[in-house]
Structure 1
Amino acid sequence: MDKPTFVRPPPLRPGSRVAALSLSAGFVTEVPHRYAAGVRQAAESLGWDIVPAPNAFRGPEYLYAHPEARADDLRWALQNPEIDGMVSIIGGDDSIRLLPYLDPELIRAHPKVFLGYSDSTVTLTQFLKAGVMAYHGPAVLTDLAENGGIHPLTRHGLEQAFGTEPYDLSPAPEWTEAKQVWDEASQPHRREFQPGDGWTWLQGDAPAEGHLLGGCVEILDMLSGTPGELPPALWQGAVMALETSNDVPPPSQVGYWLRNWAAKGVLQGLSGLLLARPRDYSPQMVEQLYVWVRRVLKEAGREDLPVVANVDFGHTSPQLTLPLGARVRLDPAAGRVTVWP
């Protein structure tokens, strides 16, 4: 099979006009000060001009009842020549309801950056199905509105993903799961971070590379069996990136989802696996997760597959931006993950 190719949208730069989309939960109307902080900090740190899509502030009840209005915002942003890219305001759990209203041909005809994570995995996946790169990374209300300013690693990760030169992903020098208080009084005050704990290479000795695919594991499982899931053939030769949400699925459940991919033949054809730092896992749960990953890969005959865990993307802060569809190389001996954006 030929290696798949993905159109790279024009990258976001200082001066880019970026549409903020409520494709998932619509509660941004309940925290307008938090949204304003994300817009302000993105302008100060990245030079982006973030503007709301027409329906983004219609409120949670309206947007829940009208998934077609959420999809209309995506179409508006794609077709609007004054919009350079799109960013998710926040995640949620029901953007799968947008599938009947999404048009892959429109995405292909107007390739633009789409940035988000968590439930945005639904939309990221539709971009990939349309043959367009998509960006697994910060949302407006989370990392862009980080208390005390956008974290330097988050900012640097975005700049690398939208750059032109190959780069190595780097472990975060510090990280946090401390609760963010979303009120105006707390906004200037930085959360408490703890020293970085680095990556964990679980298995694999030989370097491997492939195109990067993946997202939030719960949402990818939700897409299974629907018209929105990636075809198994597209996973052939890919590096899979998986993150868990703040729903905190138990390690055994992650193992069962991996078994599902083994049953589809997906694991057998992968080139590598990136696992995000799992949200709200105890050290014991982390060890159980690693046991499950190794177990399922052994069942699938993939004890050779290079696997690196505890990578800083997804439901962790700060988080890296992963350019899905880009070429990635894993080098276990050197402890390197290199990206060609």
Structure 2
Amino acid sequence: MSLNFVRPPRLGPGSRVAALSLSSGFVTAVMDRYRAGVRQCAAEFGWEVVPAPNALRGPDFLDANPPARADDLHWALEHPGIHGMVSVIGGDDSVRLLPHLDAGLVRRHPKVFLGFSDSTVTLLHFLRAGVMAYHGPALLTDLAENGGMHPFVVQGVRRAVVDEPAPFDLSPAPEWTEHWQDWADPALQEVPRPFRAGDGWTWVQGDRPAEGHLIGGCVEVLDMLVGTPGWPAPELWRGAVLALETSENVPPPEQVGYWLRNYAAQGLLAGLAGLLLARPRGYAPEQVQALYGWVRRVLGEAGRPDLPVVANVDFGHTSPQLTLPLGGRARLDPPAGRITVFP
């Protein structure tokens, strides 16, 4: 089955992009970091990043007012002078927005939405409305990277939401980091973080090419969505390439396996075209190998030892990260070691 998602208009120089705090009001504690993200988006892409009406009202207000967070999303969709949206930062409770979200506005006013982690709730809200959404950096993370955006991030954002749509091959990041640097210290903003050499992808299983539309997000947030109106209908999973990332909470490999067993019990793994696993943040090498073992084990239990699985892909909670156009198509070619995206 082939699904067709509406592609939002591209963002270019002069686009006004709304900064949305849909998950957390944490940004008010690191306003220098916020301003760095605004500056760097202007320098790299020519975007004017503007805060949504409630985005900078702080954690106490936003925690107590999920409808106000949903109002910001709706404001950005309906406002004719806003051309796209970026998540300021993730969190752990945008699932509380579900009763207040209007899918009709997404369908009537399709615009780029960019984010990851807890933004999985919003990304899937767009897919359920039939509109592509973009799993990629948040304003306070890679877009405000210390010392300037990494070229790998700039390239990823450009290919996904700026340049004219054209197929492109993903590539492993030449270097990566999970080093923590204090965002509240403005003296550190121009101090680059230490990076380690890239170590490439791991093809976990599968030997035949496969293609499907991209769906997915943070596996912990997906777990929160099971059984809610935010959970994608079965037809959105069928024929999909599932992209999964883990958060800085470092869920044990067996827990990821249990979550995948839930997908198997729902019949979702049986219909997938492929699986992308993000580089897991905070995992020791033995945990990484245990994770791959659990993935193979659960897919074998589900009758899918044939499913192409590529791991250690640069999206999610390590930096620099790719931008994946959810709803766009991806082709996994294990013999060629190649992932092609059709945005």
Q: What is the TM-score when the length of structure 1 is the normalising length? A: 0.99
What is the aligned counterpart of 1:205 among 204, 207, 211?
207
Question: Which amino acid is the alignment partner of residue 231 of structure 2?
Answer: E
How many residue pairs match? The answer is: 340
CA distance in 2, matches of 1:23, 1:5: 27
1:229 equivalent in alignment to 2:228: no
Q: Which residue of 2 aligns with 1:179?
A: 180
Q: Deviations over 1:7-61 (max 9, x none)?
A: 0000111221100000001011111100000000111111111000000011100
Q: Deviations over 1:40-91 (max 9, x none)?
A: 0111111111000000011100000000000000010000000000000000
Q: Which residue of 2 aligns with 1:90?
A: 89
The 5 A counterparts of 1:68-83 are: 68-83=67-82
1:217 equivalent in alignment to 2:219: yes
* Unaligned runs of at least 5 residues, structure 1: none
1:20 equivalent in alignment to 2:22: no
1:269 equivalent in alignment to 2:284: no
Moved over 6 A (4+): none
Per the TM alignment, residue 238 of structure 1 is displaced from its structure 2 partner at its CA by 0.3
The 5 A counterparts of 1:69-218 are: 69-162=68-161, 163=163, 164-182=165-183, 183-218=185-220
CA distance in 1, matches of 2:120, 2:10: 19
CA distance in 1, matches of 2:252, 2:301: 20
Q: Which residue of 1 aligns with 2:294?
A: 292
The 5 A counterparts of 1:249-328 are: 249-328=251-330
Q: Deviations over 1:211-261 (max 9, x none)?
A: 000000000111000011001221000000000000110000000000000
Identity %: 71
DSSP-derived class of the 1:99 partner? helix
Q: Which moved further from structure 2: 131-140 or 8-17?
A: 8-17
CA distance in 2, matches of 1:292, 1:12: 40
CA distance in 2, matches of 1:178, 1:44: 24
Per the TM alignment, residue 197 of structure 1 is displaced from its structure 2 partner at its CA by 0.3
Per the TM alignment, residue 187 of structure 1 is displaced from its structure 2 partner at its CA by 0.4
Q: What is the TM-score when the length of structure 2 is the normalising length? A: 0.98
CA distance in 1, matches of 2:86, 2:342: 22
CA distance in 1, matches of 2:25, 2:11: 24
CA distance in 2, matches of 1:167, 1:247: 32
Query: Over the residues paired in the alignment, what is the CA RMSD in angstroms?
Result: 0.6
What is the aligned counterpart of 2:246 among 244, 247, 252?
244
DSSP-derived class of the 1:222 partner? helix
